[in-house]
């Protein structure tokens, strides 16, 4: 399972990915879970057909007007389309849908086929006070697809899947203009045909799309070498209720603040990104992935810091803490088992044979000097080929009664260990009280000269009310992140889940500035109300 051989498939509303890759827990894993106090929920998940949806509040005349913009076959308000666009892919999102709760479903889903249709839809929705949820791949894990309804005539999801073309490739400048609804694997396949790669491989690669990468400032697992998605974007087109904004007439400019960066990360609150122009890299001729062992997380983190500050940076660089090292997430049977000790790191090198050789030699020297033990290519290759499998594990674990979820944050190197300790303690304290304490695993997922992001995976037995159980743990983690002065998100975004903590992080004046920009582009406040910033319908 590598990025080149994953097809684009429609997902089940709450089961991840291609059904052909669905994972089942082996009996041994079930026995292990039972020994750790995990009980299979008494109620199996509600089938999507039986999810309870709110009544449609949009009147027939508005639905007809929306259909007139996109064409009758491209507006749906049937049960299936509404369930498929209900919230995103956080564990609480999935738990609520599994319990049959479809309260956040949109009234209708519009599938525009052109940028002009998106603008016309937004103009119409502003006129009639209809809230709009921009929807690319639908993999948001921060409540970015569950806007507030209050104060609006209804909610329409604008699904960009028909905007899925590679509009142009400029081989001289090495850029491509891609439409927002192009899914990760389709974009990569089209670029590989011409000998290029985007180099953007988030773990949600099978589901997420170009527009969502831009709107939520995604970071792929190869960010050390290829950069984050916001590093790749050189231009974009934004549809707003007041018309079109086109940005990026040159790679860099000194004209005012970089407004591209204002749109990147705007999470549908300022407009709908319909296309982006991204820089390309040549498709790698060679790839080498290796694994390393360090005596401790502190030793490994120190080695990674030295490498990114003074060394030759690999394409992929990550380090698991002791707990994560001891758990092989690709093997559920080993989930609660012991491990070989120390901390494992993965280094991956991609490029021409000469580039790979040079960077590998440089990085190896730094990591060895910092105490790392090179374990060879087997573990690195296993990570590379297995990395898209982990999201498939969540479904059988939820079925079995495990509460499993992830969260991430980022800080400067000097505060990294304090942050890991504080978040680990907050999650552990909040989720203790069961027969068995929770598993709290952490790895360094993205590195910079000045700091790194920490990615936590949490697993424990579900209580009777796992949504509330997780919300309490997540609030405790958020408070710990704030207390350490770290950022509330590195790559998942703000959505509704992080909005209030984000407001605390940037302060009221910055929030006012953001809301003023929103007011300029979206005066009625129809775009994703309550996502990123407080809804304009809440007043000033």
Which stretches of the chain bind ligand FAD, using CB under 6 A? 88-89, 133-141, 144-145, 160, 180, 202-204, 207-209, 211-213, 215-216, 218-219, 221, 267-268, 272-273, 391, 491-493, 495, 528, 531
Q: Token pair of 70, please?
A: 């996109």
CB of 7 to ligand FAD, least distance (A): 17
| Minimum gap (Å) between residue 392 Cβ and ligand FAD | 9
Nearer to ligand FAD, 213 or 297 (CB): 213
Q: Give the tokens for residue 166.
A: 């590679």
- Using the minimum distance from each CB to ligand FAD, give the nearer residue, 14 or 36: 14
Instruction: Give the count of beta carbons closer than 10 Å to the beta carbon of residue 506.
Output: 13
Rg of the chain taking only CA atoms, in angstroms: 23
- The length of the chain in residues reads 540
Q: How far apart are CA 436 and CA 456, in angstroms?
A: 19
Identify which of 284, 443, 329, 232 has the alpha carbon closest to the alpha carbon of residue 29. Answer: 329
**Beta carbon of residue 118, minimum distance to ligand FAD (angstroms, whole number):** 9
Minimal CB distance to ligand FAD: which residue?
212
Q: Show the 3-state SS of 497-510.
A: CCHHHHHHHHCHHH
Neighbours of 415 (CB within 10 A): 14
CB of 342 closer than 8 Å to CB of 293: yes
Residue nearer to ligand FAD on the CB measure, 48 or 220 = 220
Residues whose CB falls within 8 Å of the CB of residue 251, separated by 6 or more in sequence, listed in order: 173, 234, 279
Contact, 368 vs 343, CB < 8 A?
no
Report the C-alpha gap between 323 and 311 in whole angstroms: 28
CB nearer ligand FAD, residue 230 or residue 355:
230
Q: Please, are residues 373 and 281 in contact by the beta-carbon 8 Å criterion?
A: no
Least distance from ligand FAD to the Cβ atom of residue 297, Å: 21
Which CB atom, from 160 or from 367, has the smaller least distance to ligand FAD? 160
Whole-angstrom Cα distance, residue 152 to residue 125? Answer: 10
Q: How far is the CB of 172 from ligand FAD (least distance, A)?
A: 27
Phi-psi region of 235 (alpha: psi -120 to 50; beta: other; left: phi over 0): beta
Quick check: 44 and 98 in contact, CB under 8 A? Answer: no
Look at residue 338 and give its three-state secondary structure.
Answer: coil
Residue 355 vs 395, nearer CB to ligand FAD = 395
Q: What does the alpha-carbon distance between residue 431 and residue 461 come to, in Å, rounded to a whole number?
A: 9
Q: Which CB sits closer to ligand FAD, 137 or 248?
A: 137
CA dihedral of 198, 200, 204, 206, whole degrees rounded to 10: 20
154 vs 493, beta carbon nearer ligand FAD: 493
* Cβ distance to ligand FAD smaller for residue 155 or 476: 155
**Tokens 């905007």 — which residue?**
163
In the complex, what is the shortest distance from the CB of residue 164 to ligand FAD, in angstroms, rounded to a whole number? Answer: 12
**Residue 326 gets which letter from DSSP?**
T
Q: At its nearest, how many Å lie between ligand FAD and the CB of residue 427?
A: 19
* CB of residue 105 to ligand FAD, shortest distance in Å: 15
Tokens of 443: 């790895």
State in angstroms the smallest separation of the CB of 255 from ligand FAD. 24
Q: How far is the CB of 146 from ligand FAD (least distance, A)?
A: 9
> What sign does the dihedral 41-43-49-52 (CA atoms) show?
negative
Give the nearer residue to ligand FAD in terms of CB position, either 32 or 136. Answer: 136
Q: Which is nearer to ligand FAD, 272 or 461 (CB)?
A: 272
User: Least distance from C-beta 446 to ligand FAD, angstroms?
Assistant: 9
Between 160 and 319, name the residue whose CB sits nearer to ligand FAD: 160
DSSP letters along 228-260, please? -HHHHEEEEEEEETTEEEEE-SSS---SSS-HH
Closest approach of ligand FAD to the CB of residue 299, in Å: 26
Q: What is the 3-state secondary structure (H, E, C) of 166-230?
A: EEEEECCCCEEEEECCCEHHHHHHHHHHCCEECCCCCCCCCCCEHHHHHHCCCCCCCHHHHCCHH
CA separation for the pair 1, 258 (Å, rounded): 38
Least distance in angstroms from the C-beta of 131 to ligand FAD: 11
d(CA 480, CA 496): 19
Q: How far is the CB of 262 from ligand FAD (least distance, A)?
A: 12
Secondary structure of residue 488 in the 3-state scheme: coil
Q: Classify residue 345 as left (phi > 0), alpha (psi -120 to 50) or beta.
A: beta
**347 or 528: CB nearest ligand FAD:** 528
């Amino acid at each position: 399972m590598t990025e080149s051989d994953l097809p684009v498939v429609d997902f089940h509303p709450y089961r991840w990915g291609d059904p052909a890759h669905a994972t089942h827990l082996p009996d041994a894993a079930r026995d292990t879970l039972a020994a750790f106090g995990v009980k299979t929920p008494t109620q199996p998940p509600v089938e999507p057909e039986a999810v309870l949806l709110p009544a449609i509040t949009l009147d027939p005349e508005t639905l007809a007007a929306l259909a007139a913009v996109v064409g009758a076959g491209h507006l749906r308000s049937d049960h299936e389309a509404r369930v498929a666009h209900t919230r995103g892919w956080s564990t609480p999102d999935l738990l609520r849908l599994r319990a049959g709760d479809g309260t956040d479903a949109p009234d209708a889903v519009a599938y525009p086929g052109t940028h002009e249709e998106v603008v016309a839809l937004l103009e119409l929705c502003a006129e009639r006070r209809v809230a709009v949820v921009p929807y690319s791949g639908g993999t948001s894990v921060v409540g970015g697809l569950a806007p507030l309804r209050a104060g609006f005539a209804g909610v329409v999801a604008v699904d960009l899947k028909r905007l899925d073309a590679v509009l142009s490739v400029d081989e001289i400048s090495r850029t491509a203009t891609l439409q927002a609804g192009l899914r990760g694997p389709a974009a990569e396949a089209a670029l590989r045909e011409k000998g290029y790669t985007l180099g953007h491989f988030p773990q949600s690669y099978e589901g997420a799309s170009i527009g969502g990468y831009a709107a939520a400032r995604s970071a792929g697992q190869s960010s050390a070498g290829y950069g984050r998605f916001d590093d790749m974007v050189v231009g974009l087109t934004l549809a707003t209720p007041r018309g079109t904004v086109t940005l990026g007439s040159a790679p860099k400019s000194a004209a005012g603040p970089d407004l591209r960066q204002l749109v990147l990360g705007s999470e549908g609150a300022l407009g709908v990104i319909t296309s982006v122009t991204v820089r390309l890299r040549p498709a790698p001729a060679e790839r080498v992935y290796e694994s390393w062992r360090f005596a401790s997380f502190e030793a490994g983190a120190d080695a990674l810091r030295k490498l990114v500050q003074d060394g030759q940076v690999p394409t992929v660089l990550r380090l698991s803490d002791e707990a994560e090292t001891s758990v092989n997430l690709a093997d559920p049977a080993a989930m609660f088992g012991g491990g070989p000790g120390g901390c494992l790191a993965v280094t991956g090198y991609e490029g021409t044979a000469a580039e790979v050789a040079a960077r590998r030699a440089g990085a190896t020297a730094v990591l060895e000097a910092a105490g790392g033990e090179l374990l060879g290519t087997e573990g690195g290759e296993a990570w590379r080929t297995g990395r898209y499998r982990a999201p498939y594990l969540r479904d059988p674990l939820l079925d079995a009664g495990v509460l499993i979820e992830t969260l991430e944050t980022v800080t400067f190197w000097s505060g990294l260990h304090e942050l890991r300790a504080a978040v680990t303690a907050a999650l552990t304290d909040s989720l203790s009280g069961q027969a068995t304490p929770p598993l709290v695993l952490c790895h360094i997922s993205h590195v910079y000269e000045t700091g790194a992001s920490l990615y936590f995976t949490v697993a424990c037995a579900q209580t009777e009310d796992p949504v509330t159980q997780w919300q309490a743990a997540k609030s405790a983690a958020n408070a710990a992140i704030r207390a350490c002065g770290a950022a509330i998100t590195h790559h998942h975004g703000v959505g509704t889940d992080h909005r209030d903590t984000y407001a605390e992080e940037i302060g009221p004046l910055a929030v006012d500035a953001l809301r003023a920009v929103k007011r300029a582009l979206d005066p009625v406040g129809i775009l994703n109300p309550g996502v990123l910033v407080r809804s304009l319908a809440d007043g000033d």
